Amino acid sequence: MNSHTDAASTKPLSFRRGIGVGPRNLVQGRWAPPPTPPLKGRGLMLATILLLAACGGGHDEKQETAPENTSIPGEPASAVPAEGAPADADLSYTPDASAKPPAKPDAGIGTGDKAIPAAIQGRWALKEEDCTARPGTDLTALVIDAKTLRFFESAGDLAHVRERGANRIVADYKFGGEGETWDRLMLLGLADGGKTLVRRDYGEGAAAEPLRYRRCVA
């Protein structure tokens, strides 16, 4: 066999880096055979060792590289509830059928934990236009203070608190209006982050569905 051919068949190929490629290390990237002849003997062995060392170093470098940021520029962050906004209340309640309305308001009513929660107090209305309507024409308005609910033609005074929280109260009220008096068990609770007041009545003559009032802007 031709010795020139044998030598050529055993010669390793080395490469040169292609243009326009931005490799991450010394080995990665696009390469092409160089015009110079390949190394022989110890030079070849040394080149092989250096090549293996470079490959190993490149592998470690790739593993140690910090993960890329995959977030999209300009993408809004996750929505966060407004700080200080009241949480929505638990609007469920099953009244005790054996509990009777109090004969008179409890002592200390309207103060401390026997008052309507501050977050519920204020002016509310079923219709938005009644928030700014003049007195006498605001038919669906409801004004609440620490112990009284004031409607268009009636008012209810807090008499006994059954359940209470920062955004919810279940209580008995003594109502009066148009020459009549009556007792009413009622749940008041906040919804929609404090923008809505849900009212649910219990007992004889109570509405079947809850009423939803909107908060009037001061």
What is the per-residue pLDDT across 68-115, written as a single tens digit (0 to 9) for each? 544 444 433 333 345 566 789 899 999 998 999 999 999 999 999 999
Q: Is residue 203 a contact partner of residue 185, using CB atoms and an 8 Å limit?
A: yes
Alpha helices in the chain (DSSP H): 3-10, 41-64
Query: Which range (66-75, 103-112, 124-133, 193-202) has the least confidence?
Result: 66-75
Distances in whole angstroms, Cα of residue 23 to Cα of each of 19, 50, 54, 57: 11, 18, 13, 14
All structural domains of the chain: 3-64 (no CATH), 112-215 (2.40.128)
| Tokens read off for 30 | 């696009």
- Single pTM value for the model: 0.61
